[in-house]
Amino acid sequence: MKEITAQELKAKSDHKEDFQLIDVREPHEYEIVNLGGELIPVGSVLNEVDKISRDKTVVIHCRSGARSGAIINELERRHGFTNLYNLKGGILAYAKEIDPSLPVY
């Protein structure tokens, strides 16, 4: 599985690169803190595959990287995706390394 660091994600955003950001946490987690990505809870992802781009980089994240990593493995195995990246350490790493003002839970 391919991964992207919090610093690399921040650079992509800063350079206005064209990529899709998907948050696979639950709605109540998204309300606490989010990075502005599209919310597709982990339980819904495999039913909403059509929402995931195949022609640009897609960064998928959760709180720590475990759920997003698991769903990336499933998407690659079942649907042949090759453009998915897991945010290493999830939103916790982003808060720690990039924006300490973000709430953590």
CA distance 30 to 24: 9
Q: Is 14 left (phi over 0), alpha (psi -120 to 50) or beta?
A: alpha
Pick the catalytic residue: 4, 35, 45, 62? 62
Q: Which of 83, 73, 81, 18 is nearest to 49 (CA)?
A: 81
Whether residue 7 lies in the annotated active site: no
- Catalytic positions: 62
